[in-house]
Structure formats: structure tokens, C-alpha cells
Chains A and B, each alone.
Chain A
Amino acid sequence: MSSPVLLLGNGAIARGLLEAGCEVLTAYPGTPSTEVLEEFDRQRAALRVPAFTEWSVNEKVALEVALAASLTGKRAATAMKQVGLNVASDTLLSAAYTGVVGGLVVVACDDPGPHSSQTEQDTRLFALFAKVPVLEPSSPREARDMAREAFELSERHRLPVILRPTTRVCHARQPVVPGPLRQVRPRPRFTRDPARWAATPALRRVLHAQLERKLDAVRAEFEASPWNGDDPRDGAMGIVASGVAAAVARDLLRDAGRDVPLLRIGTPHPLPVGLVSRFVARHERVLVLEEPDAAIELQIPDRTRVRGRLTGDVPREGELTPEVVAGILGLSAAGGTGGAVPVAPPADPGPGPRLCPGCGHRAALFAIRKALPSAIFCGDIGCYTLGVNQRALDTCVVMGASIGLATGFWHAHRVGGGGAGSDGGREVPIVAVIGDSTFFHAGIPPLLDAVVGGARILVLVLDNATVAMTGGQPTPAAAGASIEAIVRGLGVCFVETHDPYAVEGMVEAARRARDFTKRPDGGVAVLVARRPCALLAPPTEKVPVEVDPGACDGCDHCLRFCECPGLVKDEASGKVLVDHARCTDCGMCVPMCPLGAIRPRAAPVAPVGPVGPVGPIGTGAP
């Protein structure tokens, strides 16, 4: 037997995919799912296992690429965060009807909390809607096992299968004993069957009937599945729990010396209702612990004795941390000693994230706001969402929504009367701010809509040549895709590209772009702010700066609108100082001081302050 390896949950999932002989893995990066593909690539390189992997343009494309591989008989998987499944949903629902050939596994990572997402949506509820089976691991070790077995389940029933871990599985580490690799590598063979793969609505009804029978068969299998740990005892109280919440409950009860019958569910959809109903019938009261929503509770046919998220006995929102579960179970807050310890006050969340020193986004956001101070700024998903700290963003919805919202704002102002983009006669510039990867992912259709509909908006594309937020995955530009060429191809006539470090140049370009949107022959204007991510390509042309204490009056303009970790307030003098340990000498802050108090200095200074949070993510100390 191999010796255990300490694996990140996402690494354990990758290991399971490899052990199952998965030959195609596609993904779009998103916390907490990103490392599934990265770990798959790292491990398969070490094992010399051939496979195709790609960072797809978006999750829908990712699922389609994997689906086609399945139709040729190969085992394929796709990995995404939960909101990515929203994007891929159209394809998923149809694929449930048509079915699959080779095993097809969708790894969709939920984020109770939420820690890094716009919603706390529950993929298991999505699976109810999509009529797709779900396996729900409670630890990295189980995630590996389920990732491997999910292909067998998928092929037995000819259905896509969702593997649904949560953040505390994805980003936990646990020793995992590697298992053997499946050596089967089927030759790709697509068998034509238009009644299935090209089914028209009349035939879809037949496929729907088949799907319902498949789900009945899966449910019957789940009634006796080893993933569900039954507890045959009866009593006043029982617990039905799944995922990390089940593991947390078991740890807490063991620590407290309490023994409560617990039915652990690893197959939340379709729920083995026979198994669960028998457990419920053995107890006077049953508590359901699950994350992030009430997918199991909702499927229990008779909920008279059942308490959970739906009844409010479990908080309706938020992560089921040990603290929360202990409260629900009535366990004392005493720490280890059993003595009376006051309940700790809520955690101080600590400092929030900020754009890194040297980040080109900071300069671009400062410039667009300076050029168009009265504009409505529609933001998007990425590092630059932090521009909200710089008062440079007014909205943030989902991937690509900046351009759709900007278009809507323009039309809404126009339909209200008073002319294009007006607000009671006052001209309101409308700006969409979107990153490069987000533009490729979901920005192209709304930009076409803006052009076709005649919306006079300004679109600022922040191009740092990477998916920075999730650790620096490549964008389509790495393979030659050109934002400018795409934009021109969509019919945009004003396209300018600038280095955001040249702040004044960006300000002037933004004003020109705004003028273009107002011209009779004008239209949508696109500005591309191009500067590589400072973490991947730190600025080479050093502009060391200093603050002239005689000129700085402590107005905090730079702290509020530049918001660079390299600028700090000196509490004693009330003036701003440069923290040379964090400053990257990018020099962008020089034009950001209205008093000219931040100025270039002659020579670089050796770092003297504390070491700042400026490393590449995910590595800590290098």
C-alpha cells in the first residue's frame, strides 16, 4: 500500500479523477474550485498520465467540451465554482435528458459563508432542478473516493453526476492514501443516434420519461449506498447531516461526550427517502444539518418531526462552523476545561483585501473616476471589484454584468425623457469596468447588445493578461486572442489602448472616449488599460517616491482614492508616509495627490518597515 500524501481537498478530487481514468478535464477558475485543474495537471505530469485539460473560456463551454468527450466514450470531468454552474446550466439540463456514454462528472464547489462568492446558492438544489445525481463529500479523503466512484455511477445510469464539495473540503488538507490508476483508455468512438443526441421536442418527452426512470434507479441504489452511514438506534433526538456539517457535528459530540444517533448522508440527490424516513420514524425529533441550504430537509416526505434550516432551528444563512453547530446542539462554550467561559464576542474580521501595490487596476480606476466624476460605474467580477474601496465602482452583479447593466442604465435614462443618458436634463456618463478574462468569459454578448441597441456607454477593459484573482491562470489572450480585434469586430469604432501607469494619459483618453459617446456619429467607446499583473510582472521602471511633509496636509485624498498598501497615515503627524517595505516604486501615486506632495525621489530606499502582504498568492514564504 502506498503511504499517505497530504492533499488539499481539490488535490484529492484531482487524484480521484486520475484514479478513475479521466482523460478530459475542463474548468474555469473560481474560488473555491480553482485548484482541481491545477492539481490534476501537477499530478498527471508527475505520473506521466496522458490527458487533455483546458482553462475554458467559460463554464458552459467547459461542460460542452467535457460532454463531447463523454459522447465518444471517454471519461471526462469539468470543475467550477457554484455560480459557474449557473453559466453552464443550459447545457447541464439538456445533458441530463440526453444522457452520457463515458462517465461525466461535474465538480461544482459550493461556498457556504460565503467566503468568495456573490451568493450562498446550493448546488444540490440546482441538481433537483436539473434532475442530476449528487455525491457530497465531507472530507478530502472522501472527496477522492467519491470523485473516483462518480464515474462508475455516471456510467451505470448514463447520467452526468455532480460531485459537490464545499469550501471546507476544497481548502482543507488531509492525508490521503493514493489508490491504483484505472488503465482503461477507450478509443474515441461517437455513435450517431439523432433521436438522442439531436432530439427534437417530441423526442425530448421520451427522454424525460427515461430520465425519471433513471433517477428512480439511482434513488434505489442510494437507499443501500455505503456513502450513507446509517445509525440503527432510536431515541428522543436524531441528527441527519451531510458534508462538513456532519463531520463537525460528530467531532463536537465526541468532544462533549454526547452520544446522539446520526444518519450521515453522502447522496443528497435523489435522496434515499426510505432510509431517511425510517430514521426519522425512530426519533421524536430530528435535526437536519446541511450546507448551504435545505436540500435534504426539503426532500423528506414527512417533516412533522424534522427541524432544520426550513424551520429556522438552524440559521437560514451562513456557514455551519463548529461555533454555530455547537450553539444549535446546546453544547457549552467552555474551551477544553469544562469551566464556565464567557461566550467570545464575534470575530473581528481584520483588514480586508486591497489591490496590491503596483497594480495597474488602481491607476486605471483612479483615472476613469477623475475623468468622469459624475458617471455611473458598473463594476464586474475580479480583483478590480476591490475598486469599490476607491469609490470607483457603483455596482457588482455577476461575470459580465458590467456591460449589460451599463447598457440598461443608458436605455433607462433615455426612456425617462430628457435625451440620451440624461438624468433630469443632467448628462450622466455611464461606464462599464470589466477585466480581460471576464470580458472573454461573458463580456462579448452584452457588448454586441450595446452596439446593436445604440447604447452610448464607455467600456473600460482592465487587461492584466491573467486571471489574477484566482492565482494567475492564462486568458485566451495567451493563445493570441485580441481584445481590440474582437471589440472592433463587434462594431465598436472608438478603441484606444493605454498603459494605466500613465495616469494623465488615461484621464485624457477617458475624456476623448466620453466625447465620442456624445458625438452624433459616435457610439460605444472602449478603452483598454493594459499592464501585466504586478504579482506576475513587477514594474521594471522604478519610480521611487516620497511624501513632502511640508506639502502634505493630511487630507487623505491618496488614502481614499489611491488606497495603496504602500501609503500609510502617520498618526503622530497626521500626514501620509510611504511604507518602503510595501511600495513597489511604481510611481502611480505621484499624480494622485492634488497637492503634489507625493513626488519622485532620487534613489531607491532600502526596506525598513514590516514586510507587507505582497507575495504571489498561495505560496506564503517562497
Chain B
Amino acid sequence: MSRTSPPAAATAEIVLLGLGGTGVTFASRVLAEAAMAEGREAFTAETHGMSQRGGAVEAHVRIGPWESPLVRPGWADAALVLEAGRIPAARRLLRPGGLCVADAPAQPEGVLGCDASAEARALGVPRSANLVLLGFAARALHGLLPRPDTLLRAIARLSPPESADANRRAFLRGMELAP
């Protein structure tokens, strides 16, 4: 938290991938709310409906003056992958040089792995693995994502009261884990 982030990029296209229930939608809302709090435009696309029954879900977050919500495959600046099996799908969305962080115990090639699920379990907040990864990404992808302090405030605003503390701790733990 003491580190000063560089100036934010003019625009950022971020994709989040996971399975229904892993917290993809919540993390995308946090990113968009935080971007707004920094005075930037945000546009998100979410997956609702049947896919949420454990199926593959995806959220797109476009920070900047876009008119449409979907990130074009091959153009995403960053991917946050909450289920390691979706890393190949994330690669397809990333632009050349785009960055990928993933909830994975290992370090797949070209991916910044963070064992967010294990860390969240160790913290006693297994459902907040998404926020461990978001905290990790906030540091690992600094400059591309909104600042950690605005992300933390968005988490506090969007979390139901009973999980606000778990989510905050998960996010801070993720930041500690970042290189």
C-alpha cells in the first residue's frame, strides 16, 4: 500500500474468466466501481443465467471512453483467471504482450500464477479467492488496474456486511503475494 502507483493507462481492457460461483462478476464490479471512483469511464459485460450453474463464465471490463462492452479477442490488456482450466481461453482474448494472472499453484508459461484458492483457505475465507487474485493483480498489473486504495474502497462498498472483512483481508493478502 505504501508503493506509489504509476499514472494509470489512458484505457485498459481487462477480461476475467472462471466458473460460475468463483466470483468473476463480483471482481469485475469492483474493477469498474474503482475505475469510476478514479473519475474514469467504465463499461462491463457479465455472464448471467444458466452458465452460472458451475459453467464457464466471463466478464469484460473496459476502462475508457468505449461505447460497447465486449473486449475483442486478441485485444485484452490483461486477464484475471479464477480457474486455471480457463487459461487457454484467456490467451485467446489477450493482445500480444497482454498480461495474465491466474489462480494456479504453479507458474504456467506466460502466466503470473498465484495460488489464490490455497491462500484464501489458509486465511479461512475460501470463497474470497477471487479477491486474493485481485489483490495480487492490483500489484502485479499496477498501472493497468485501478489503484489498490480505490479497489479496497470499492470492495468495502460492494461487499455484503458479513463478508466485507473476509474480502478485505483476502485482497491485502493477494497484494503481499505479488512480486
Residues of chain A touching chain B, judged by Cβ–Cβ distance below 8 Å, are 4, 6, 8, 31-32, 34-35, 115-116, 138-139, 168, 171-175, 244, 247-248, 250-252, 321-323, 326, 333-337, 339, 341, 344-345, 347-356, 383, 385-386, 469-470, 565, 581, 607, 610-615, 617-622
Query: Given A116-B49, A611-B126, A620-B24, are A250 and B67 also a contact pair (CB < 8 Å)?
Result: yes
A69 to B118, CA, bound (A): 55
Q: CB of B178 within 8 A of chain A?
A: no
Q: CB of B97 within 8 A of chain A?
A: yes
Query: Given A351-B19, A353-B52, A618-B52, are A611 and B75 also a contact pair (CB < 8 Å)?
Result: no
Pick from B21, B95, B131: contact of A615, CB below 8 A: B21
A-B pairs, 6 with minimum CB distance: A350-B56, A620-B26, A613-B21, A335-B95, A620-B23, A31-B49
Chain B residue nearest to A319 in the complex (CB): B70
Q: CB of B143 within 8 A of chain A?
A: no
Chain B residue nearest to A606 in the complex (CB): B121
Q: Can you show 25 pairs from A to B with CB atoms below 8 A apart? A: A115-B47, A139-B43, A173-B29, A174-B69, A322-B72, A323-B72, A333-B74, A335-B94, A335-B95, A337-B96, A344-B73, A347-B89, A347-B92, A348-B89, A352-B51, A352-B56, A353-B52, A385-B50, A581-B126, A612-B54, A613-B22, A619-B160, A620-B23, A621-B159, A622-B160
User: Which residues of A have CB within 8 Å of B50?
Assistant: 31, 116, 353, 383, 385-386, 469
User: Which residues of A have CB within 8 Å of B102?
Assistant: none
Q: B128, A621: Cβ atoms under 8 Å? A: yes
A619 to B72, CA, bound (A): 26
User: Which residues of A have CB within 8 Å of B43?
Assistant: 139, 172-174
A385 to B53, CA, bound (A): 12
Complex interface bits, B88-121 against A, C-beta within 8 A gives 1, otherwise 0: 1100101111100000000000000000010011
How many chain B residues have a CB neighbour from A under 8 Å? 67
Chain A residue nearest to B56 in the complex (CB): A350
Q: B121, A607: Cβ atoms under 8 Å? A: yes
Chain B residue nearest to A333 in the complex (CB): B74
Complex interface bits, B139-157 against A, C-beta within 8 A gives 1, otherwise 0: 0000000000000000000
Q: A353, B55: Cβ atoms under 8 Å? A: yes
Pick from A35, A171, A611: contact of B129, CB below 8 A: A611
A368 to B36, CA, bound (A): 52
Q: B48, A618: Cβ atoms under 8 Å? A: yes
A172 to B72, CA, bound (A): 15
Q: A321, B70: Cβ atoms under 8 Å? A: yes
Q: B55, A138: Cβ atoms under 8 Å? A: no
Chain A residue nearest to B21 in the complex (CB): A613
New contact pairs (10) apart from A326-B72, A613-B21, A614-B21, CB-CB < 8 Å:
A168-B69, A175-B42, A336-B97, A344-B92, A352-B56, A356-B54, A469-B50, A620-B23, A620-B24, A622-B163
User: Which residues of A have CB within 8 Å of B160?
Assistant: 619, 622
